[in-house]
Amino acid sequence: MRNVESSLIVKTIKELALDANCNIGKSFIDVLRDALKKEKSDIGKNVISQIIENDEIALENKEPMCQDTGMVVVFVELGYEVHLEGDLYDAINEGVRQAYEDGLLRKSVAKHPITRGNTNDNTPAIIHVKLVPGDKIKFTLAPKGGGSENMSLVKMLIPSDGIAGIKKLVLHTIFYAGGKPCPPLVVGVGIGGNLEKSALIAKEAIMRDLHDINPDPVLAKLEAELLDEINQLGVGPMGFGGSTTALAVKINAYPCHIASLPVAVNLQCHASRHKDMTI
């Protein structure tokens, strides 16, 4: 067994949260530059140029790339051979608290969904833990903004809806969202499982590398088709029209009940912020 102190987890989460809010990453900016070259609309080109400039200023000045610094989502892959010295959830939330206070990041978490009020430290985070072999812990952290999350959904389709029904749901969601989720988007789709599982794997999908290829040929084909069809909708960057509504479509799947076809659509705005670290 390997002992891991809570202080190391706090430090790791703090570093990830600060970095994620200020550093979109070179690979994502490269994807935006490619989109800029292909964009057909003049106003669309202008918007993408401003997004790139904004991201570069954020990195240079170590300032958040968006005023909505999100509600923190953390995926934890916890090795079987790790012994935690302290509570994992408390350590993660302390790391978030320190990052948002020391980094002067906006606190965006309401104490209660109905009575509201602010927790004033951006906690609690939303934490998902998976046990894996080994003596390491991998953290993947994403500050998820409210605008794109608000336009996401889960729909319980039925098997006869098939691929046509999945496409209709995804395209309808994005078209009627318009500029609200701040495109160009990364579109995560979760197919299968049940209501909550489809939402979870859709969230995991937006954490994937934008350049990866789905190992499932059926899903790889559907990802490519959906990306093409989404970019024909004309929503465009920030909803001003154009040919770049999405930068990528990522689909994750899971076995499901014979009577069901759950589909979740999780939209990620152009501030596609997520970082990972293994300790």
Q: What is the pLDDT along the chain (279 residues), one digit of tens a residue?
A: 999 999 999 999 999 999 999 999 999 999 999 999 999 999 999 999 999 999 999 999 999 999 999 999 999 999 999 999 999 999 999 999 999 999 999 999 999 999 999 999 999 999 999 999 999 999 999 999 999 999 999 999 999 999 999 999 999 999 999 999 999 999 999 999 999 999 999 999 999 999 999 999 999 999 999 999 999 999 999 999 999 999 999 999 999 999 999 999 999 999 999 999 999
Nearest Cα neighbor of 242 from 93, 38, 20 is 38
Q: What pLDDT shows up at residue 89?
A: 98
Last residue of a domain, one of 97, 120, 144: 144
Residues 180 and 219 in one domain: yes
Q: Within a domain: residue 52?
A: no
Residues 138 and 243 in one domain: no
Torsion over CA: 237, 242, 248, 254 (sign): positive
Last residue of a domain, one of 90, 122, 144: 144
Q: Are 267 and 152 in contact (CB under 8 A)?
A: yes
- The H or E element containing residue 238 is none
Residues 78 and 202 in one domain: no
Q: What pLDDT shows up at residue 132?
A: 98
Q: Within a domain: residue 45?
A: no
Nearest Cα neighbor of 121 from 99, 88, 147 is 99
Last residue of a domain, one of 123, 144, 165: 144
In single-letter form, the type of residue at position 202 comes to A
Residues 181 and 128 in one domain: no
Residues 184 and 246 in one domain: yes
Q: Are 180 and 241 in contact (CB under 8 A)?
A: no
Q: Within a domain: residue 129?
A: yes
Residues 71 and 114 in one domain: yes
Residues 10 and 136 in one domain: yes
Residues 193 and 224 in one domain: yes
Q: What pLDDT shows up at residue 81?
A: 97
Residues 6 and 140 in one domain: yes
Range of the domain at 257: 147-272
Domains contained in the chain, number: 2
Residues 100 and 160 in one domain: no
Residues 126 and 8 in one domain: yes
Q: Within a domain: residue 80?
A: yes
CATH number at residue 16: 3.30.360
Residues 132 and 163 in one domain: no
